[in-house]
Amino acid sequence: MQTLDLIVGSQMGSAEYVAEQVVESLESHGIAVNLHEQPELETCQQTLWLVVTSTYGAGDYPENLLPFISALNNTTDLQGLRFAVIGIGDSSYDTFNYAALNLAALLKEKGATLLVDVEKIDVLQPDLPEDTAIAWLPKFIDSIA
C-alpha cells in the first residue's frame, strides 16, 4: 500500500475541510495518508506529499504553515520527494493561490518533483472546493501509479 504525507495550510478552516475530504477519497483508493494539520518538516518522512493550502492576506502562507516553510527554506536537498499541491483561493485577488504556487516553486527549487500542475481552486466558482479537489484526485492518483 502506498503512503503519503498530506500537509495542510489553513487559516480559516476551508483547506482543512478540503484535506479531510481528500483523505477519505485517497483511503478509499487504497492509499494510506498521514495527515499533518500542524506540519513539521521532521515528521513528514514519506517520499510522496500532497499539500492542500489556502492563501491568506496578500498572497501569504497560512499561519500554521509558517514554521514548516521556514524549515523548508533551511533544507538543501529534497531530491527523491514527489509532490502535488491543491491551492484554495479567491480569484478576485491578484495574489490568487500564491501560497500554493510559491510552495510548489520552493519544493522544486529544493530538488523535489512536481507530479501534476498545481490545482488552483477558486472559491468564487459555483462548485464546492472539496468537490473540485475530489474531481482532480484521479489525475494525482494516475501520476503516482
Q: For 31-53, what is each residue's pLDDT tens digit? A: 999 999 999 999 999 999 999 99
Residues 72 and 65: their CA atoms lie apart, in Å, by: 11
Residues 126 and 123: their CA atoms lie apart, in Å, by: 8
- Closest Cα partner for 81 from 40, 32, 35, 45? 45
Burial per residue of 20-46, b for 16 or more beta-carbon CB atoms within 10 angstroms, e otherwise: ebbbebbeeeebebebbeebebeebeb
What per-residue confidence (pLDDT) applies to 40?
Answer: 94
pTM of the model: 0.95
Query: What is the chain's mean pLDDT, rounded?
Result: 95
Q: Per-residue pLDDT averaged across 137-142, rounded?
A: 96
Q: For residue 11, what is its C-alpha cell?
A: 487559516
Q: Per-residue pLDDT averaged across 105-122, rounded?
A: 97
What per-residue confidence (pLDDT) applies to 13?
Answer: 84
